[in-house]
Amino acid sequence: MNIVYIYEDVPGRGVSNELRCFTPARAINRTKRHTARLLNIIDFELNPRETDQICSTKDVIIFHCNLTESVLSAIQHWKAQNKIVVIDFDIHNNLIGSTNPDYADWHDLKQSISPQDKPINQEKISPITTNQFKWGLRLAHAATVPSRRLADDWREYTDVYYLPNYIDQEIFLNVKLETHEGINIGWGGGNSHLLGFMKSGVLEALHRVCVARPEVKVIIGGGNRRIFDLLLVRDYQKVLIPWVPYSQWAQILSKFDIGIAPLYGKYDERRSWISVLEFMIMKIPWMGSAGPPYFELEEYGRLIRNDPSAWENVLINIIDNINAYKLDASRLPHLFGISQSIDENIEKIIGLYQELLNKQ
């Protein structure tokens, strides 16, 4: 089988592109029985001759990008050429809140951003972005998403399949572990996670924990200055680590003694399990908000109701018994993490695409 992933190389999409396009493409090519190609949407649109040469030899075309008018036309064209067309997405655009940097795009606003990160000069854009998205789903043969809740949301428009985010184990192998004093509580992510920190109770819990346990530090990975500034802890107890390419993310994770994964609201309910899965493959004890993304992983960590005292109590317990928790994390949680590597599961992905081909 021959597959092409068409992705959008824009700020904020790096991890999404890695997990939904680059990781499966590498694993498909490692099978030596199937092939996968990656194609930037800009090249797809600006180089029609090369695009035709690439796509004409593929069985499945996967669009992981905004469904602009040109993409909708391309979907129609390649369906007419008997290609299977799949839309892959990992967010619920209708639920994006105002604290999310993509808010304007998905609420049909064209805007500039002031130096204080406040939107100015808003005006409506047309055609409506969310309508284009729905049109694209109706045109495609199917869609794939990394969240069961997300799959349920969009089934009225097309066949939507749950396709989890898997781990490329090669990225997480041979990481040099760094020794450090004290205990590091770690988190990583982008600006779309701000509400999860503000509303989950974890900020207050971290404040209390850092007062009670001066040896604790909080690491914020991904360069998220807004979340970092909200942490009301002593300066020496918090560390901001800039964004790094995903290939280097495991090295940042190696600094964590405890991983946290706060969630809040309907948007976060539709996230994937990847943050916790990364903790598990790295043998990091973890705790996260009780919610749909992590329900399947409850036996491998601690799920917390969104209350400062609940977060605080569990964090203190893990800190005070860190060696026992690390030993436990190196057993069943780590084995489950390995079982969710992309190479262990690539045949499921190929099988799904083959199922779509057989339906044609």
Boundaries of every domain in the chain: 2-90+127-166+342-359, 169-339
Class level of CATH domain 169-339: alpha beta
Q: Is 190 helix (H, G, I), strand (E, B) or coil?
A: coil
Percent of the chain residues past pLDDT 70, beyond the cut: 90
Q: What is the mean pLDDT of residues 248-265?
A: 97
* Residue 273 pLDDT greater than 70, yes or no: yes
- The topology (CATH level 3) of 2-90+127-166+342-359 is Rossmann fold (3.40.50)
What pLDDT is recorded for position 116? Answer: 47
The residues, ordered by sequence, that sit 6+ positions from 193 with a Cβ below 8 Å of its Cβ are: 224, 227, 262, 268
What pLDDT is recorded for position 8? Answer: 94
Q: How confident is the model at residue 340 (pLDDT cuts 50, 70, 90)?
A: very high
pTM attached to this predicted model: 0.90
- Taking only Cα atoms into account, the Rg of the chain, rounded to an integer number of angstroms, comes to 21
* Residue 63 pLDDT greater than 90, yes or no: yes
Question: Per-residue DSSP letters for 238-296?
Answer: EEEE----GGGHHHHHTT-SEEEE---HHHHTT--SHHHHHHHHTT--EEEESSGGGGG
User: Which phi and psi angles does 82 have, rounded to 5°?
Assistant: 65, 30
Helix H or strand E segment including 304: strand 302-304
Q: How confident is the model at residue 129 (pLDDT cuts 50, 70, 90)?
A: confident
Query: How far is the C-alpha of 30 from the C-alpha of 61, rounded, in Å?
Result: 19
**Tell me: the pLDDT tens digits for 290-332?**
999 999 999 999 999 999 999 999 999 999 999 999 999 999 9
**Tell me: the pLDDT tens digits for 151-187?**
999 999 999 999 999 999 999 988 887 789 999 999 9
Number of Cβ within 10 Å of residue 189's Cβ equals 19
The residues, ordered by sequence, that sit 6+ positions from 100 with a Cβ below 8 Å of its Cβ are: 191, 192, 194, 195, 267
Q: What is the mean pLDDT of residues 241-251?
A: 94
Is the Cα dihedral 129, 131, 132, 137 positive or negative? positive
Query: How far is the C-alpha of 224 from the C-alpha of 39, rounded, in Å?
Result: 29
What pLDDT is recorded for position 178? Answer: 78
Domains 2-90+127-166+342-359 and 169-339 share a fold: yes
**Tell me: the pLDDT tens digits for 87-108?**
999 986 655 555 555 545 545 4
DSSP state of 158: S
Give one word for 180, left, alpha or beta, with left for phi > 0 and alpha for psi -120 to 50. beta
- Share the mean pLDDT of the chain: 91
Q: Is 4 helix (H, G, I), strand (E, B) or coil?
A: strand
